[in-house]
Amino acid sequence: MQDLGSLIGLSGTSYGMAINNSNHVAGYSTINLVDNRVHGFLYDGENMIDLGALDRNPLYGDTSVALAVNNSDEVVGYSHIAAGKNQPIRQAAFIWIPQRNIVVAHMKNLNDMIGSASQDYWLYSATGINDKGQIVASAYDMNGIGRALLLTPREP
């Protein structure tokens, strides 16, 4: 058994959600003790990497939860973003792709990556990713009905 720690040290909490073949773990951890906000993390066998959030404004977002990781250390989950007056916070599905040889990687809103399908669906959570980069996501269609979706990346 191994305690992976938390993003803020001994006083924080963390939750593991998925593991890949390299024993790298995706999950989420508290980032402060003031309001118990959480960020998704990737534990790479040595360090717990803070994946950040889609919206870093603590009033509207700055929250993320990592739910799955594949063998390329690509992580998916959900984050909160500012939405508008009637709905100040909206949940959005994300992907975090590690950047080799670059110090900072950042998560991307999957809704910004699905082209014209974004007119018909709002991806609110990505719950799985395989080694082909296919993502299982939960979405609402434009009628507000929940849908399970399979996202398959296009060949470059």
- Grouping H, G, I as helix, E, B as strand and the rest as coil, residue 112 is helix
The pTM for the full model equals 0.92
As given in the structure block, the two tokens for residue 119 are 């007119």
* CB contact at 8 A, 12 and 20: no
Q: What is the pLDDT of residue 41?
A: 97
User: Structural domain boundaries of the chain?
Assistant: 14-112
CB neighbours (10 Å) of residue 113? Answer: 16
* DSSP secondary structure code for residue 155 in this structure: P
Which run of H or E residues covers position 33?
A: none
Nearest Cα to Cα of residue 63 among 7, 114, 9: 7
The sign of the CA dihedral 110, 112, 118, 124 is positive
Amino acid code (one letter) for 108: K
What residues contact residue 56 under an 8 Å CB cut-off, 6+ apart?
62
Q: Cα separation of 3 and 26, whole Å?
A: 14
Q: Phi and psi (nearest 5°) for 118?
A: -70, -15
C-alpha 149 chain-centroid distance: 16
Per-residue pLDDT tens digits of the chain, which is 156 residues long: 999 999 998 889 999 999 999 999 999 999 998 887 899 999 999 999 999 999 877 666 789 999 999 999 999 999 999 876 666 688 999 999 998 765 566 899 999 999 999 999 999 999 999 999 999 999 999 999 999 999 999 866
